[in-house]
Amino acid sequence: MIVPDRPAGLAAPLADVTRGSGHSFLGTGDLTLPAMLVASAARAGWLAALSVSLGALLGLVAVNLIFRSQRVRRPMPALPPIALGAILGHLAAQLLL
C-alpha cells in the first residue's frame, strides 16, 4: 500500500511514485494483522473493536514520527509499533469494558 505524506500526494500518478518522493510504502502484513485483531475484538463489541483500531492507528502515527525523525531515511519495519498499539488498545478495552 502506498500512503502519501501529504493529501496532495493522493493525486500523484503511480508512475511518479518512487522512494523519497513523499510517499510511504506499507506491506500487506502491516494492514492484515491489525485488521484481524479488530475483527477478533469485534466479537466483544464495537467499542472493543474501536479501541483496537485506535491503538493500531496510534502505532502507525508512531512509525511515521520515528521514520521522519531519522536523519538518513531508511526502510524500517512498521508492524511492531502497529501491532503494539493494537494490543494495547485491546488491553485497554478489556480493562475498561
- Rounded Cα–Cα distance for residues 37 and 97 (Å): 17
In a domain, residue 5? The reply is no
Q: How many residues does the chain have?
A: 97
> Tell me: the pLDDT tens digits for 36-83?
999 999 999 999 999 999 999 999 999 988 988 888 878 889 999 999
89 found inside a domain? yes
**How far apart are the C-alpha atoms of 82 and 95, rounded to whole Å?**
20
What is the structure's pLDDT at 67?
Answer: 84
In-domain check, residue 41 = yes
pLDDT at res. 7: 83
- State residue 62's pLDDT score: 94
* Percent of the chain predicted with pLDDT > 90: 51
Range of the domain at 71: 27-96
Q: Does 13 map to a domain? A: no
Cell numbers 511514485: residue: 17
Name the phi and psi angles at 24, rounded to 5: -110, 150
**CA distances from residue 82 to 6, 59, 75, 79 in whole angstroms, order as listed:** 20, 4, 15, 5
Report d(CA 70, CA 76) in Å as an integer.
Answer: 11
Number of domains in the chain: 1
Average pLDDT over residues 76-93: 93
Residue 10 lies in a domain: no
Asked whether residue 14 is assigned to any structural domain, the reply reads no
Q: Is residue 58 part of a domain?
A: yes
Look at residue 11 and tell me whether its pLDDT is greater than 90: no
Q: How confident is the model at residue 85 (pLDDT cuts 50, 70, 90)?
A: very high
